[in-house]
């Protein structure tokens, strides 16, 4: 990765009051050494489901959230890696591009469940509603064997992330939000669509890019994944090209004004309140 971009990213991170490097996401045929990764599990495809060939107790028994592995990678300044056989949960397999269409069992699980058999998460009021959302977002099939999430400074010179992910509380998040508008001139550049937390990191930003729309995506709004975020923390994911603009141009923006200096004082108070 270009050293100047890393230096400007560090300056941006400091200006935003963040204490960790943003993470980059890319697809590759090589898994990083010592990456945090789910246990290997057979992919629960719709075809296997129709044929009655899925051991659902085993699938749920091997459950692990993608954000849990990313949380560990954040804490250890390391990498998290996912594949068609190391996906953690069927939701993660879907949102990261390793499984499509989603199994009907999971469609019912995310919505109303199956009476007497499977409790529902009640994130949508009917299987039809969640099925329609899954069909609409239509995650891009994974273009390589592995989806890898790791700090930007862990990318080799010949590697380029597709997406860049910040984890931030509201005061810093407002800086990211406004800066995205600053570099694009688009008042609707930031979106917060319904999604599992991992979908906000991958599927939705890539969905917008495939539609010819550059969008930043706020995530971490999935109640099931909140345990893997700091209190009050959300994610903010942008395409690589937008990140370059944000990193290279942030000193031209409001981040260099007295207004932001006042916000920075609130960021410092927040960090003290959380013992950081």
CA dihedral 238, 190, 17, 153 (to 10 degrees): 0
Cβ atoms of 148 and 29 closer than 8 Å: no
The two most distant CA atoms of the chain are separated, in Å, by 64
pLDDT of residue 118: 84
Neighbouring CB atoms inside 10 A of 161's CB total 21
Tell me: the pLDDT tens digits for 26-46? 999 999 999 999 999 999 999
* Region for 222 from its dihedrals, namely left if φ exceeds 0, alpha if ψ lies in -120 to 50, beta otherwise: beta
User: How many helices and strands, by DSSP H and E, does the chain display?
Assistant: 12, 7
Please give the backbone phi and psi of residue 88, each rounded to the nearest 5 degrees, phi first: 85, -50
How confident is the model over 152-193, as pLDDT tens digits? 999 998 999 999 999 999 999 999 999 999 999 999 999 999
pLDDT one-digit tens code per residue, 61-96: 889 999 999 999 999 999 999 999 999 999 999 999
Q: Does residue 97 surpass a pLDDT of 70? A: yes
- Quickly count: other Cβ atoms within 10 Å of residue 133's Cβ: 18
Q: Which two tokens stand for residue 9?
A: 């990213």
Q: Which of 234, 257, 249 is nearest to 174 (CA)?
A: 234
Q: What is the DSSP secondary structure assignment for residue 123, as one 8-state letter?
A: S
Q: Which residues pair with 217 in a beta bridge?
A: 191, 237
Q: By percentage, how much of the chain surpasses pLDDT 70?
A: 100
**How large a percentage of the chain has pLDDT more than 90?**
91
Which pTM value belongs to this model? Answer: 0.95
Mean per-residue pLDDT of the chain:
95
pLDDT band, very low/low/confident/very high, at 114 (cuts 50, 70, 90): confident
Per residue in 199-237, pLDDT (tens digit) is: 999 999 999 999 999 999 999 999 999 999 999 999 999
Tokens of 226: 């909140």
Residue 46 half-sphere exposure toward CB, CA atoms < 13 A: 9
Strand 190-191 relative to strand 163-168, pairing: unpaired
User: What's residue 17's pLDDT?
Assistant: 96
pLDDT higher than 70, residue 1: no
Residue 218, helix vs strand vs coil: strand
Tell me whether strands 190-191 and 216-219 are parallel, antiparallel or unpaired: parallel
Q: What is the mean pLDDT of residues 124-148?
A: 97
The Cα–Cα gap between 2 and 11 comes to 15
Q: Kindly list the distances between the CA atom of residue 164 and the CA atoms of 77, 99, 155, in Å, as whole numbers in the listed order.
A: 15, 23, 12
């Amino acid at each position: 990765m270009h050293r100047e971009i890393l230096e400007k990213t560090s300056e941006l991170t400091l200006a935003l009051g963040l204490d960790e490097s943003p993470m980059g996401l890319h697809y590759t045929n090589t898994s990083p050494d010592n990456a945090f990764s789910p246990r290997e599990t057979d992919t629960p495809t719709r075809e296997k489901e129709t044929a009655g060939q899925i051991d659902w107790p085993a699938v749920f028994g091997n459950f692990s959230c993608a954000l849990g592995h990313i949380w560990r990678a954040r804490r250890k300044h390391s990498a998290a890696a996912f594949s068609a056989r190391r996906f953690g949960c069927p939701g993660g397999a879907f949102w990261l591009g390793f499984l499509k269409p989603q199994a009907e069992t999971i469609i019912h699980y995310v919505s109303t469940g199956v009476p007497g058999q499977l409790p529902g998460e009640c994130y949508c009021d009917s299987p039809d509603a969640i099925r329609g959302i899954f069909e609409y977002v239509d995650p891009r099939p994974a273009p390589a064997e592995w989806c890898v999430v790791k700090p930007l400074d862990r990318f080799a010179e010949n590697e380029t992330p597709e997406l860049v992910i910040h984890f931030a509380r509201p005061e810093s998040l407002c800086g990211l939000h406004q800066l995205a508008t600053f570099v694009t001139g688009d008042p609707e550049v930031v979106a917060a669509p319904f999604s599992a937390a991992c979908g906000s990191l991958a599927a939705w930003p890539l969905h917008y890019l495939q539609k010819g729309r550059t969008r930043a995506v706020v995530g971490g709004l999935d109640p099931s994944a909140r345990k893997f975020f700091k209190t009050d923390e959300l994610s903010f994911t942008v395409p690589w090209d937008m990140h370059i603009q944000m990193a290279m141009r942030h000193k031209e923006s409001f981040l260099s004004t007295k207004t932001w200096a006042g916000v920075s004082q609130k960021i410092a108070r927040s960090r003290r309140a959380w013992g950081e």
